[in-house]
Amino acid sequence: MKTLLTFLLIVMTAFCSMAAEPPTIVEIDKDGVQRVEMLGSEYFFKPGHIVVKINVPVEIKVRKDALIVPHDFVISAPEAGISINESLSRDPKTFFFTPGKVGKYPIYCSKKVPFMKSHREKGMEALLEVVE
């Protein structure tokens, strides 16, 4: 029994470390814009954590892969000059902003079916991190 528990602990630890995706550090293109593509899928965004530089323009291209399930893309950080709340489709949508304040800001889907958990509560959330 002790051997089985040890084995399960090792497997779970390995699985959890594989599941944690490192942040995507967005490079600055030759034209001075930070560009990243994101996918909204069944209750997650990929990448789940993006890092951009303050006061450098950002272009995020987002699409969803669900055929029927509605999703949207929300970043509400007016203190950083970022305010996006748009429905997603299978065709990519492109959002532009220039982050004006260092910090960590949630990206999420605000959709919710009545009497069910919201998509955000189901894990459809990512992180935008603005650094110096």
Is 13 a residue whose pLDDT tops 90? no
E strand spans, 1-132: 24-25, 34-41, 44-46, 49-53, 58-64, 72-77, 82-87, 93-97, 103-108, 125-131
Give the pLDDT confidence score for residue 40 in this predicted structure: 95
Is pTM beyond 0.75 here? yes
Give pLDDT, residue 9. 46
Q: Which domains does the chain have, with CATH numbers?
A: 23-131 (2.60.40.420)
- HSE (side-chain half, CA atoms, 13 Å) at 66: 14
Model confidence over 92-107: pLDDT tens digits?
999 999 999 999 999 9
Q: For residue 107, how far is the Cα from the chain centroid?
A: 5
pLDDT for the residue 62? 98
Q: Is 132 helix (H, G, I), strand (E, B) or coil?
A: coil
What is the mean predicted confidence (pLDDT) over 11-39? 80
In 1-132, which ranges are continuous DSSP H helix? 2-19
Is pLDDT of 77 > 90?
yes
Write out pLDDT tens, residues 53-68.
Answer: 999 999 999 999 988 8
Q: Which residue has the higher pLDDT, 62 or 69?
A: 62
